[in-house]
Amino acid sequence: MSYAIASLNVGKPTVHQLDGQEIKTGFKKTPTHQPNYLTVTGFENDGQADLKNHGGEEKALLMYPKDHYRYWEEKYQRDFPYPAFGENITIVGLTENDLYIGDVFQLGEAEIQVSQPRQPCYKIAKVHDLKDMPAVVTETGFSGYYFRVLKEGVVKPTDRLIKVKEDPQQVSPVDVFHCLFHDRKNRKKMEQYLQIEALAPNVKKSLTKRMEKLG
């Protein structure tokens, strides 16, 4: 199974005037036609401003499905050029339902593994001047997903994303997203997801804290 890259996107953090505020962010990325070296913390030509909530080895690479763009354009009656959701790769035909936490893919010279769903960020509302957008992301689950990098290497925009290993537990990013934001008291699901070796530690920490509060 292989998937085409619609757009490969990078950008260093810069300061923008958003909703009357000066905000430094790496959300605003630009499509590139050049090869980029993918390290364990992301593309060399990319970066994040808020390293507490973004970036790091468990969020080295963000993908967003091209398939969702039509929904957003129809909902808001406007164009959303790539990468409207701050993604490093706009991917064709691979939504949050179509892969599993722990799946391993070849991407150019690099090898990457699905680590967690992306969680809605307020900056998406600021960038697009759409206050309800994070809530709609939460409602739809059209959030995108993160990878960790198992093997570094050069990635070209013409490369295809090739699945090389499927996680046997078959828990999708949207399954975890639903538990985090909708099915918030489902202890059975939380216990199940905590057993997924490849699930990012920060997500496991959130689930563990929630279980402790439930008692």
Per-residue pLDDT of 134-177, as tens digits, reads 999 999 999 999 999 999 999 999 999 999 999 999 999 999 99
What's the pLDDT score for residue 126?
A: 85
What's the pLDDT score for residue 49?
A: 45
Per-residue pLDDT of 22-64, as tens digits, reads 676 677 899 999 999 999 999 998 866 455 555 689 999 999 9
What's the pLDDT score for residue 27?
A: 79
What's the pLDDT score for residue 189?
A: 97
For residue 18, give the 3-state DSSP assignment: strand
Q: What angle do CA 129, 131, 134 make, to 5 degrees?
A: 110
Least confident of 4-8, 20-24, 62-66, 202-206: 20-24
What's the pLDDT score for residue 45?
A: 85
Q: Is residue 85 pLDDT above 90, yes or no?
A: yes
Least confident of 14-28, 68-82, 175-189: 14-28
Contact 91, 3 (CB under 8 A): yes
User: How many other CB atoms are there within 10 angstroms of residue 134's CB atom?
Assistant: 18
Q: What is the dihedral of CA 131, 136, 138, 139, to 10 degrees?
A: 150
How far apart (Å, rounded) are the C-alpha atoms in residues 160 and 210? 38
Q: What domains are there in the chain, each with its CATH number? A: 2-167 (2.40.33.20)
How far apart (Å, rounded) are the C-alpha atoms in residues 25 and 50? 7
* Mean pLDDT, range 72-85, rounded to an integer: 97
How far apart (Å, rounded) are the C-alpha atoms in residues 200 and 159? 26
Helix (H) or strand (E) segment spanning residue 23: strand 21-25
Q: Is the four-CA dihedral 145, 203, 178, 171 of positive or negative sign?
A: positive
What's the pLDDT score for residue 47?
A: 65
Mean pLDDT over the full length of the chain:
92
* Mean pLDDT, range 56-84, rounded to an integer: 97
pTM tops 0.75, yes or no: yes
What's the pLDDT score for residue 25?
A: 66
